[in-house]
Each structure stands twice: as C-alpha cells, then as structure tokens.
Structure 1
Amino acid sequence: MTAASLNHIVAILAVLLLHTQQLRSQSGEEYMNTCDIIRLRGYECTEHTVITKDKYILTMHRLSPKQCGEMKKPGRPIILQHGLLQSSIHWVINYANQSLGFLLANAGYDVWLGNIRGNIYSKGHTSLSPYLKEYWNFTFDQMAEYDLPAMVEYVLQVTNHSSLDYVGHSQGTLIGFACFSEKPDWARQKIRSFHAFAPVAYVGHTKTVLRLLRPFFQLVNWMLKHSHYEILPNTDGVKWVARKICKGKTVPICEKVLHKLGGYEPRNVNATRLSIYLSHYPAGTSTLNIAHFGQLIKTNKMQKFDYGTKGNLLRYNQTFPPQYHPERSRVPTALYWGANDVLSVEKDVRRLINITHSELGLYRYENTEHVDFMWGLNMIDAAYAQLMRVLSKLPAR
C-alpha cells in the first residue's frame, strides 16, 4: 500500500467519522434513552430490574447527582411514575433546572423512575415474548396489582427504608389510587405520601379525542378486546416523524395533535424541544389497556376491566366488573391539577376530591394542561415547588 493510498483511506475514515458525529449531533436527545439523558446532564443513572409476581420484567432508573469527594448517603427514596403511553424519560426530558427528576435529586432525594409493563423499557417476561398475544393480556388492573407493589418493595429493599414517597402522573395516579385502595394496610405502611399530578380516576367528562369514540364504543371495545397486542409503540419511525415534522413551520401541526390526544398548552412548553418530547411519546401499551380507558369513559366509573358477562363470571365471580374505591386508601395524599386539562377534567377531579383523603392539600393551576406536569416550564415554580414544600414538612418514617 502506497503512502498516497494510506492517506486517501485516512481521509475517507476522517470524513466518515465527522459525518457520524454530525448525525449523532443532529439526532441528539431524540435517540437517547433515559440513562443517556441523565448522564448528559451530569448525573449518575443505574438500571434496575424488577420481576413482578406474574413474571413481567420491569426496568427502573435510579437517578443521583455525581459524587464529588466524600460519598454521601442517599436521601429518602421517592418513586416517579409516568402516565399512559409515557416512560421514565419524561421525568428528565427537560434541562436539569427544569425537570422534576433532577430537581428532586438536587434536593437530596433518592429518585427512582418507574416503567410499567409494556412500555419501551419494560417489555420483558420470564417466559413470554412481547411478540406473543399472551404477553399483551393486561390493563392498568395488572399494573396496580403487580407492577406498583413490586417496584415499591424493590426500592425499599435496595435502600433499606421502611417507606417511600410516590408521585404519579395521569395513569401513574390511576394505578396509585387502585393499588392503595385495594391494599390499604400495605400502602399505609409502605407509602409515606402520595402526590397525584393530573389525577385520573374518573374520566367520564374527558374532552380528548377518545371521547369522540363514545358513539362507536361497542365496536371499538370489541376490536381492542380481541386484538391483544401492542398499540402505539415507540419506534424509529416515531422518532423520524418527530424530527422531520415537529420542527420549524410545522410545529403548530404537532401541537394541535398533542392537544387533541392528551392536552397541550404551547405557551408552557419549550417549543424547540417538541421533536424531542415526541421522539419518546408514545412509548407503547396494550390494546386492552386502551380499551379499559374507553370503558371508564363510557361508564364514568372507576372499575376493573369488563370482560363481558361470561368473562366477568369467570374472573370476578359476578356478571359485572368490580369498582375501585379510592376512598379506602389510607395514604396521605395531595392532588395537583390543571384548570384547562382536557383529559383530567376538573369536574372529574372534583368528584375525586369529594371522596379521597387529600390531607396534604389540593393545588389547582390556571392555564395548565395535562402534559404540563411532565414537560411544562410553568410547573417549576408551581407544582414542583409545591411538591417540595409538602415533602419537606412530612414527618420522618
């Protein structure tokens, strides 16, 4: 090989390396995972595997500041649980001074980010492949019965604490209300406080696009119940669309879609990061879970999944699905909601207020939408700051 040929090869490799670096720079956070984002901000991240009693394999992300000098003992553990079609990444998707996960870590808390079954980080099972129909035979009933207790027990075991604090958003609050009301004694012992962001228990008055399906409920419910597969997964196609469409002049299109799907207020969000938000949303769930939400909208009840008369008899020993009773929870609770929320509508939140033990406070925010509690910059000095104040006043346990 001549010197000229060698120089030519080196030049080509240099160009390829530069091109690769440019692609990485262009893709950036759109293609990063939760730990990538956390480390990018200068924090430490560790992945933890949690196996539920029904053998689903979940991933939790533990966030902590980088240690400088003498090792500090971790503070009180706190679990942040995402909403429907989201993942752990949404608690850290903004900058370090804007995301709740980082703010809590800075305040000394031992932050654990949960991922429920079926999302991009929790598609494991000890014997079932996510390519099998049987894997997707779940709704938020199983998340409340198995996922949340498993994550709580795991965190308490690893941290050697007797109790922890729990923050849920949207579906994260729903599985909290369901779990804590079904296991009141266990929850009172293990959960020091419950903070419900954009609380969901009753959704009969939702104004999202899901409400438009009500006239076709029977058909849609039948289709979803008999498909038993994943719906709205997070794929490279999702990321490509987010990068190509949700930037520049076409941003308003993405904003309108977001508003119809789950509530979005453009003035509260960093529009330059919209493509990043939507690269990680949706993050997948089961068709049965979506059908379950449809049932809640149709009946305006907080109830377990309706399998039909025969299915209910087999599963519940009665012809209709049992209802959940949030009022049975004994966990000290605080509710935080937006006056403009189209999913967690204020009328439904008020119904929840009337029956829950919200002894830690009721906090209403004007001009606030559903996803603001995860992405909104307006939450830094509002719900996030209020959460910090409430936590700081709680008795040690």
Structure 2
Amino acid sequence: MGVPGLLGLAAWSFYVLVLAVQPHQAHGSIRGSFGLNKDAVASPENGLCASSVTVHGYKCEEHEVTTKDGYILSVQRIPEGRVGGTAGTKKQPVLTLIQHGVTVDGLTWLLNSPEQNLPLILADNGFDVWISNTRGTRLSRRHVSLVPSQPAFWNWSWDELVSFELPALFDYVYGQTGQKINYVGHSLGTLTALASFSEGKLVNQLKSAALLSPIAYLSHMKTALGNIAAKSFVGEIGRLFGLAEFNPKGEAGGDFLKFLCDNPGVDCSDLLTAIAGKNCCLNSSTVDLFLMNEPQPTSIMNMVHLSQTVRDGVVAKYNYGRLDYNLMHYGEAVPPIYNLSNIPHDLPMFLSYGGQDALSDVLDVEHLLDDLKSHDVDKLSVQFIKDYAHADFIMGVNAKDVVYSKVVQFFKRQH
C-alpha cells in the first residue's frame, strides 16, 4: 500500500480519507528502516521542530505568522545544515520556503530519513529552510478572533491562500532575512503559487520556484472515485455534511466515503492506484508514519473550490453559485480566471511531473506548459519522470537522486 502526497485537489483528499478510515495492516517496524523515534514523529503537537528536526541534530525554530485575514500560522525554520556536519557553513544561506498541499501539513515533508527528505537535504546544502502549515491544519488552528468551532473560521477557499496566506508567509520570511525567496510547492502548493504569480503577487520577493507534481488544470484526472468525489462536493455537500470544516477523520467523512464507494464503476479495493496513479517508490515505514499523523482538516469551501476546478476545466476564483454573490465579490456574474500566461516570463521556474500521476495528469501539465509557452527559454526547466506518481515526489525513497538533486541544482543556478 502507498501513501498520498500533499495534494492540491479534491480527489486526493478522498484517498487520504480512505486510508484514514479503512483497516490498515502494519508494514513492519517503524524504527527498522530509518531508526526514527516513532513516538516523537507521531506527536507533532509539541511542534515539528521537536518531533522531526532537532531529534536528527539540526537547529530548528518555531515561528508564527499572522495573515491579514487573521489566521495564525505555524512555521518552522531550519537555518542551516546538521549541527557539526560539513554542511554547516558561515556563508549566507540560500533561502527556501516549502509549501504542502491540501489535507496534510508540513510534517509530510519530514517523514523520510534526513538523508531522504527535502527540507533537511536543502539545509545540508546550505539553505535556510522554512516550512509552512496551512490554516486549519493541526498546528495552524488559531485566529485573532475566531475559533475552529465557529463556521466563520472555515470561510475560505484556496483563493484566500493566494490572497492572504502566501503573501503573509513571503512578507514574514523576507522581513526576517532580507533575502528573496526560493519557493518549493507540491500539488495545491503549486496551484496557489501559480495563481499568485499570475496576479503579480509574491514576484518581487521571489527568486525562483520549484513546482513538484504541478496542479493547474484537472480535466484529464484519471480516477473514477476522484471525479465522483469532485462532483459530489459541488452537488451533495449540504446534504452530506452541513458543516464548514472538512475533517476526513470525522464521522461525516466516513459516511461520505461509503457514499462514494457505493457508486457504480468505483473500485475502493485499490485506492492508491485508482486515485493517484501507481506510486513506484514508497517505503512502508513512511506509510505507517503518515497514517499516524494525517490527514488534516481543511474547509468545505476549499474542497468545493477544488471540485469546481475539476468540473469546469479552468483555473478560476471561487464560484459562489449565485449571481448576486458573484457580483458582490467580483463585480461580474462569472468568477474571474487566473490567467497563467501572465506569469512573468523571466521568473525562473522548475516543473517536475510524473508519467503515472493520475491527479497531475500528463495532458493537464502539458496544458499548463502551453500557458507558459512564451516563458523565457532559459528560465523554464521541465523534468518528466516516467515512473513517478503523485506521492513519489514527497516521500519516494529515491526522490533524493531523481528529483531533489535537480531542485538543489536549479536553485543554486539562480545565484
């Protein structure tokens, strides 16, 4: 069995949901492969630094970032390589901000061993690494005036991540360091970045961007379960939930899963392949660690917005489903489209996508690349990995050599 990556679309969340609720057989010792401290990794409520970074000999700082719409985000900083290691250097480190996707949090970047996970590989290569945790997830459930039990706390979609969350993170990290930022996103973390770049946000503080398993268009998503889930989030949401928070581990989440699996043509016996494509390179110990800690909540509104992206075939702002609401928010009846061809043509970008990914489908990535056809040739690097699916980019045991080495090289070329 595999494990989901941090995805940026509705269907992936359902795969995560399924893993959370179905019986799971252990794959062997958690400690066996990597010598990880199971209890520490499984208890990030004390902070990701303590559970997953300092235990491996790295310096780590816990930070808080408050967005303009009032959410208080947990952010971890790994300022340098392993203490006492050869990577520790006094030269100015290269700045990197790492963003996860929907229904997971920053911990999923850290589940593999230090030699195999991207944040610590970057730190050992002289990078000052910042890991964010999106609003609503375990460590970012605070607000200046709201609490998660209030529906208003969940009144946001990925539009607000574009408008408020990423700008707050960039402002804070830039303010702390005075350096332009190299950005890494996976799945939803690529969608929000692309939308931001297309509106001219972040670009003045941005040095370059590495987008892993990029999500923009979702018209060719190869999954019956995911497509039914996306349609259900548009049409069935009120009946099935009546809630503002989407918690995959909750009772309503289990009921929704049963509803999905009862649909004709949906095979819930091999969910990883059916939803995300066949991941080639996941370690069973990492799967176990993932299942101890994820999935994480998000907003119903966010899931509806992602489902609209699947259904409508465009990258657009949230559709309120009522003419008067759209007019009130946008001054027009139809939500505006994020025009990805407006992304600055001289912005250095690295895109890496997989041939087995059923979510970030090859044809949809090619649609995205067509939007970028006017990009400066020497500023756009594209990697295609035939055997990779969605989760391999985050937790693949060979991702260090296949993907992360390319990310490090790409970032260092920008200096």
Deviation, 1:169, is: 0.2
Deviations 1:146-183 (A, max 9, x none): 0001101101111122x11001000000110111111x
1:147-186 map, 5 Å: 147-161=165-179, 163-182=180-199, 184=200, 186=201
State which drifts further: 144-153 or 113-122.
Answer: 113-122
Find the counterpart in structure 1 of residue 293 from structure 2. 280
Structure 2 residue corresponding to 1:56, chosen from 54, 65, 71: 71
User: Is the helix fraction higher in 1 or 2?
Assistant: 1
Deviation, 1:215, is: 5.7
CA 1:285 to 1:322, structure 2 compared with 1: closer, same or farther past 3 Å?
same
Structure 1 residue corresponding to 2:221, chosen from 184, 206, 209: 206
Structure 1 residue corresponding to 2:142, chosen from 110, 119, 124: 124
Name structure 2 gaps, 5 residues minimum.
Answer: 1-35, 255-266
Deviation, 1:221, is: 4.9
Kindly tell me the number of residue pairs found equivalent between the two proteins.
353
Deviation, 1:212, is: 2.3
Given the alignment of the two structures, is residue 317 of structure 1 paired with residue 334 of structure 2, yes or no? Answer: no
Given the alignment of the two structures, is residue 81 of structure 1 paired with residue 94 of structure 2, yes or no? Answer: no
Deviation, 1:224, is: 7.7
CA 1:223 to 1:261, structure 2 compared with 1: closer, same or farther past 3 Å?
farther
1:335-354 map, 5 Å: 335-354=351-370
State which drifts further: 196-205 or 323-332.
Answer: 323-332
**Separation in 1, partners of 2:234, 2:131:** 36
Deviation, 1:383, is: 1.2
Find the counterpart in structure 1 of residue 3 from structure 2. none
Deviation, 1:216, is: 4.5
Give the conservation status (yes or no) of the 8 Å contact 2:190–2:215. yes
CA 1:92 to 1:25, structure 2 compared with 1: closer, same or farther past 3 Å?
closer
Larger Rg, first or second structure (1 or 2): 1
1:1-397 map, 5 Å: 27-32=39-44, 34-35=48-49, 36-63=51-78, 64-68=80-84, 72-161=90-179, 163-182=180-199, 184=200, 186-208=201-223, 209-213=225-229, 216=232, 218-223=234-239, 227-232=243-248, 256-263=270-277, 265=279, 267-308=280-321, 309-330=323-344, 331-356=347-372, 357=375, 359-394=379-414, 396=415
Deviation, 1:340, is: 0.5
Find the counterpart in structure 1 of residue 32 from structure 2. none
Give the conservation status (yes or no) of the 8 Å contact 1:224–1:291. no
TM-score (norm 1): 0.82
**Separation in 2, partners of 1:255, 1:61:** 37
* Partner AA of 2:391 in structure 1: V
Deviation, 1:326, is: 1.3
Q: What is the DSSP-based 3-state SS (H/G/I as helix, E as strand, rest coil) of the residue aligned with 2:97?
A: strand
**Separation in 2, partners of 1:140, 1:29:** 28
**Separation in 1, partners of 2:168, 2:352:** 25
Give the conservation status (yes or no) of the 8 Å contact 2:234–2:307. no
C-alpha RMSD of matched pairs (Å): 2.7
Q: What is the DSSP-based 3-state SS (H/G/I as helix, E as strand, rest coil) of the residue aligned with 1:291?
A: helix
Give the conservation status (yes or no) of the 8 Å contact 1:119–1:233. no
Deviation, 1:67, is: 4.1
**Large movers: runs of 4+ above 6 Å:** none
Deviations 1:237-278 (A, max 9, x none): x9xxxxxxxxxxxxxx9993344444452x401113311022
